[in-house]
Structure 1
């Protein structure tokens, strides 16, 4: 697969309940820092907030990158998981902290969809500054190895003939399984019994424990389970097989009608509060950029099936804008949300 095509892949994965509508609290408006502080930054530990639980793609990639970034920054990153509400709990927490560069959000694509889904007022492009977009991943439809569903066709046929019988584990509204299920229902008439969990790690555990029949995971999170023989990946949600999973068919091999939704998939990145001084953002971006050049980290991403991006500044902002447009309109067109992206002045990609 060409690098150009991979870089275009856009993502989506989110979960939030209406009771967790996280209204703007005004937190973080006091920056608590100035550009002069960048000269000695960091002078204390930096909190790295991972918006998903342990064991998922965002957690694994973030914790692998953190010690490399520490070396470049000359400081300590204290990593913690603040999962919940499809990542909005962690995003809101970081937004509420002083905008001084000492609290960073290690997040996925979810905040790009919060507003359209009515989940939270937080938004990457409004409330945060991208320190680095690390990489673009892909989604795979997985079952346990001993599942009676040996192919995607088996799963689809059973679901259409037995509506609601298959339990599909999700990471909540707007998450990978939720969006994938919406696409399957819109195009093929499937109907799943959806049960929510807090991210890739808990979903994998639930599948291992036979709590669910199937789910959709980032390929980077499912890879180790597939290689160990615990999971079977029925298809990748892409228009061609992946180099990291060459034996897994693309969803369009059997269902070409999904081409209109592709390319699509999750991403991981590091973000700071929007009001963080430019000099500190620059120092953070430079440090994370150099950290990602580490050969072992590059190999880790390759083994996880993640396409390295390592972008920041205007390039990262343009990437986020394209991702938000593609993902929100895909959800709307698939019937996963009744709120049009137009209400938030989000154009379709071909209208930008």
Structure 2
């Protein structure tokens, strides 16, 4: 879930008019990829708000106020607008395989509560408008929280007349038009290690569920597994370490080639947790030079200059996979007004070469 806050409970993405005119900052288009090379990408697309206000509440009125504050921020960071920028990024990078995190569905009920929104459906529509064809190959269901009372906006003064439900997932997309790429055996799982967050007023505690999604694939005769995941935040290092242990013993295990992408929430410089060191004991990092910062922008996505100062979104390679190049995607503003960024994270796109055994 969100790297700034582990409490994934309450927010709603609104559908607003899409901006007209050119993008605010047009990144350089990725160079052409030869058919024998594979292009992969990881992207945390951001649930839309900083949920910290909901972490410190001690009573129900404070929780309801926090919900309204979070909801207002999600409206301001409008995913319908951000999805257009994300689709432009994907169009420029043309990944063959794409791992997405924080792919949420917000479901509302009640008078004046506003529309529900499915982030995956909105993004896929934006991709289709650009003539891009990606199949949802695997999905890992995560936290499912609510329905919770939503007091603003709501046309009724009765608490509970309007509600909000959050469902989070990680999603693996495959480019239908990649020559020589075949896939099968979609799989997913959730980590037994998870954070439990108490709620005031005697409400049942919330469990924050993280997991992984994978496929088995073959690219021009080379077999490999592609997996995406999202680990708990660095604020809870013991839970994160337990999750990465499950990851390494589960979908990342085995003697074959594995490509793992995701938001691992562990700074590559070792300044937060030792999860990155555990991962690179099994994998090679596709990023080889420069800071490569991917996290994080202001929660309102309104900062003029990037505030990213850590590298926690990774493309990791094992077995026959070898990095040819890698670049950060979405670190700069894509338009002049908020939301300026497509996500609070930047993504990473990498070109993979294959280490073929000598004949």
More strand per residue: 1 or 2?
Answer: 2
More helix per residue: 1 or 2?
Answer: 1
Fold-level similarity (TM above 0.5) = no
Pick the TM interval, shorter chain.
under 0.3
**Structure of higher RCO (CA pairs closer than 8 Å, 6+ residues apart):** 1
